[in-house]
């Protein structure tokens, strides 16, 4: 899996983006930009998920 893709989980669409950290054991979200814009937290849920040997950040929202 490379780049981005979408999946439906619990009847909600999620957009996945490859974090591009080959060989990583774990990945952390350190910063989002812009930090104070409401669309970064009011309507979206962000999470990092491992699929196979790659890490993906996903978001879902209204």
**For the segment 4-57, what is each residue's pLDDT rounded down to a tens digit?**
889 998 888 888 888 888 888 888 777 766 666 665 555 567 788 898 888 888
pLDDT at 36: 65
Decide: 15 and 57 in contact? Cβ < 8 Å. no
- Rounded to whole angstroms, how far apart are CA atoms 21 and 16? 15
pLDDT band at 62 (very low <50, low <70, confident <90, very high): low
Q: How would you label 22-48 residue by residue, b for 16+ Cβ within 10 Å and e otherwise?
A: eeeeebeeeeeeeeeeeeeeeeeeeee
pLDDT at 37: 60
Tokens for 37? 């814009």
Range of the domain at 49: 4-61
Count: domains in the chain: 1
Decide: 55 and 49 in contact? Cβ < 8 Å. yes
């Amino acid at each position: 899996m490379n780049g981005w893709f979408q999946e439906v989980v619990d009847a909600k669409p999620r957009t996945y983006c490859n974090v591009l950290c080959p060989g990583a054991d774990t990945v952390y979200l350190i910063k989002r930009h812009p930090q104070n814009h409401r669309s970064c937290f009011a309507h979206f849920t962000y999470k990092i998920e491992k699929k196979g040997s790659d890490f993906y950040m996903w978001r879902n929202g209204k």
